[in-house]
A and B are shown apart, each in its own frame.
Chain A
Amino acid sequence: MKPSLLLSALCLTLGCAPATPPPTRETLVLTGTAYDRGLQHGTQLRSKIRSFYTTLMANSLFPFLSREQPDIATLLKEYEAERYQNGGFARELLLESAKNLERDIGRNGRDEMRGIADGSGLTYDEVLILNTFVDTTLAVRGIGLAIRQGRAPVVESVEFLGVGADGRDNSGEGAVDEADEGVIKPYVPPFFAAAVEVAVDTKLRVVFADPDGVDPQTVRVRVNEGLFTFGDPALEVVELDATRVQATWTPPSPLPAASVVTFVLSAGDKRIIEVPGPPRASFRRDEELVVTTQGAGLAPRDLSRPALTDNRTRPPPFVVGARGARAADGPLLAHSFALLDANTAHKHTVLLVHRPDTGPAYATVGWAGIVYGISGLNERGVGVACNPSDTLDNSVVGSVLDQVADLPRAKLLASGLPVGFLVKRVLERASTAAEGVGALTDIAPVYGWNCTVADDQGGLEVVELDSDVFKQGQRGVYRYTPTDRDPSMRRYSSVTDDDVIVGSSYTRNVEDSITLTLAGQRVVPQRFWSGFFFRSRRVIDDVTRRVAARTEPIDVAWLESVLVTPEVVDRSDSMNAVVLDLRRRTVHAAMGTVPATDSPFVATELGR
């Protein structure tokens, strides 16, 4: 015994024991006033807050967003000023927007951020940026993406050859071989099927157009598992003129009968953009067309998009809500959230349990230094989870519209309330889902979001939000419940009256933006430009199939199993996976790794 005791003592003194990794997920219980809670948060996570700010903002997002400066400065000359040069663009832009957003955040939110600043040693401005960058970045990135799509080739027309004379109803409109059946011109990205009951030997013809010319060698057509590129005998690519290319795909073998077939189209232009690097053409996003072949017997709206396995897209965030007969043990909300990990967010995850002096206790699933989460529940049994939904009907576009008379001096400026603060409002105020929806909708969001609110009494509602800068008459609020029906009398996004599946695209607010040309840039609805649109439609269909196939009541374990299904997990940017058990006031959260679902679900009871 003596030698081992001696050895142990020696080891304790010298440090034989290996170091242990610090936790990548934390749970903090915060009490008192908003400032007190912020101070506790800032003090306890001081190290992580500083590393999160540096690794995510200073080392990743600031330089990345600053790449947009040359492009944006061509339109908005104000950004040619000295302080936006040399990498200062992103920080200045985010700070200016943060200051503008600060007004709407409210005193409690500001006090909490001040507490974090005091506890962590960050400046208040840095904490403010950290708490507002998500929405502002999404809006600016959305504008940048729309601009890039605006200079990429457009799909001028799509035609399924022979469909107009095949004696079948291929549009689901109840008529056979009507004029232009099988032709989509002008091209509008289909929300549901592009055509149904097409022949198995149907050819596809697509015309791409671009003022800079379409590079024929970049034309790419994928049909289910088959890829056809320039030079493939099945893909005939013809330059119609200096600005248009026609691609005709002929099936090398018959398409599978009575099946769903996915076509993915893309092309790039002839103008190579050198700055910022890397040099590249402007590429049309992958346009997805889904059809059924003869014998499938499905209407366009009944088609379910199959999974794509070409590793070109990643599943976006989604929510599943269940109540009543579908959730025998009580209402549940499941959330898969993926957006921006950048190899750092997963190291800084934190579940915050707030026990304020006044108002209900609540828990949010978020990150160090950020006062909110994108999902959470309160002790009154109300839960909420939100997904981004790209839109040009956002506050930053609104700021440009407000300054359109003086574009050279105009700035990109976010306004409204960031989604995390909307989530906080729900949790701080609501006792029912309806009250939660009210808290979400009485102030405009900075960007587009789909929020699902539920309560322990069975309240379940989805709110699709935009900033309503085009004054379309709905105040940017589009609501539906599982029982609501669209004009075709189908549920918006539910299998039964007691469930809902929500993705990262609008289901009701499909005309989220009007169509106009602003300073030479086309402003169009989400489905024309968003990189989320098709993949969101696909993940909704995937999860819907799983919910439909579930014959047993939906419970926590089953929802967790859905969230970790590889087909719906973004392996690069998954940030957290959460199941909110509203009856038991329990948060089941997987986080702390990327993807988050590589971590186990850990239950945290909030209590009543």
Chain B
Amino acid sequence: MIKLINQSIRQTILWSVVAGVLYPVVMTIFAQVAFHNQANGSLVEKDGKIIGSALLAQQFQGTNYFWPRPSACSYGTGPSGIAASSGSNLGPTSGSLYTNVQNNIAAFISGNNLPTNTVVPADMVFASASGLDPHISPEAARLQISRVAASRGMSEDKIKALVDQFTEPPQWGFLGQARVNVLLLNVALDRAQAGTKKAETGAPSKG
């Protein structure tokens, strides 16, 4: 028995070194070299500041931005710093789920000035699993176009082109679902508008 304990301890130490030090260190070096951006969290920068990760949703409520899916964890933020990723975990017969669903539908319809009989896409009605789902369905993005266009004073065609540009089809044509990355789309929106303004102010004035 003493021998077994001795062997157990020595095996535990040995594998802690192999699987706990060697393996992660080698994989980290490999990932940092080969896939530097992904390995560090796919960060999105603007003017040298980190403004988010391409893989994590952020809260957008302003009329000039596209809105992400409802989150049960405030998109991982909170006054105390971090909030753990989380779904709502509400069951199908939950009264709270019923209330949330009705509120989300109403908020989306009134916020986007849609006809009251609009079928709101399921992804905007139900909270995501992680609370950080960076994507919405292409349908949910399309329904927001005219509101964003009106709020920014940009043409709907221009914004529709951007939405199309950021719509990812199922990966390799057959994996997963079509989706639009909200944060990247919103960053592109800001850039497009800034570009337009620059072009307008930079244009020679007539008369």
* A and B: interacting chains: no
What residues of chain A have their CB less than 8 Å away from a CB belonging to chain B? none
What residues of chain B have their CB less than 8 Å away from a CB belonging to chain A? none
